[in-house]
Amino acid sequence: SLSRPIPNADHPSDHIPIKATFEVLTELDYYKQCAKAWYGAVSGRMSQQAAVPLGHEQLAHAFFIFELDGNDTVSASEFGAGCYQIDLHPAADEVTATYAKAVLPGQTGITFEGFTQAYVSALQSGAMPGMADLRDAFSNFDKDGSGFLDITELESLVEQSSPVALPKQQASKAILDRVDRSGDGQVSIDEFLDALASAWTNKNIPGRA
């Protein structure tokens, strides 16, 4: 029991310690959500991903959950413990494979750089959160169902998606030149998704521009 009832001179309100405890728990839960989203993306567990991609700050929160001893590197044992802490119970081979994706060459554990690179690679390889919606958007503009967007379909995309009026022929040609990696004069679903993932990571993760 307390030696002096609250409120008193040191604690003028009994609301203060209760509020502080609540905020700490909420912050930790948020960090765990970020860690789950990272693991979901890198491991390929789509159901574990966030509704929107993680930014630099959220990636730092996620890294905090796995990096337990304060040396800025996540060991294999720490990674396994982190998975347990966020209530994930994957098979051992999945944990090993996911861990390996984030260990940079020459490193003995996961650094924050490797942690970030693994997430960016997952986005750009097609595991980006919101993937179903983006595929639906692509299909909506793919009027002939060919699996590609030609210049006419890109013009429709520009016309319907741009918040301001643009010269659609010039804008569509610029999109095609930038996104059409194969040079076949049309945009595939993979090229479309990769361009969106690259644009997002360049904007939201420092050093990727």
Contacts (Cβ under 8 Å, ≥6 apart) of 131: 46, 193
Q: How far apart are CA 12 and CA 164, in angstroms?
A: 56
Contact predicate 48/36, CB 8 Å = yes
For residue 24, pLDDT beyond 70: no
| Residue 86 region by backbone torsions, left for phi larger than 0, else alpha for psi between -120 and 50, else beta | alpha
**Measured on CA atoms in the order 140, 143, 145, 146, is the torsion positive or negative?**
negative
Helices 56-66 and 15-43: angle between axes, nearest 10 degrees: 90
pLDDT of residue 9: 65
For residue 185, pLDDT beyond 70: yes
Q: Domains, the chain, ranges and CATH?
A: 15-127 (1.10.238.10), 131-204 (1.10.238.10)
For residue 155, pLDDT beyond 90: no
Decide which of 132 and 208 is more confident: 132
Place of tokens 């309100």: 13
- pTM reported for the whole predicted model: 0.54
Contact predicate 178/195, CB 8 Å = yes
| pLDDT tens for each residue of 38-90 | 998 898 875 444 455 777 788 889 999 999 999 999 999 999 999 988 888 88
Contacts (Cβ under 8 Å, ≥6 apart) of 198: 124
| pLDDT tens for each residue of 84-100 | 888 888 899 999 999 99
What DSSP state is assigned to residue 46? G
Q: How far apart are CA 117 and CA 125, in angstroms?
A: 12
| pLDDT tens for each residue of 99-131 | 999 999 999 999 999 998 898 788 766 555 566
Tell me the β-bridge partners of 74.
Answer: 110
Q: What is the largest CA-CA distance in the chain?
A: 79
Amino acid at 144: D
| Residue 20 region by backbone torsions, left for phi larger than 0, else alpha for psi between -120 and 50, else beta | alpha
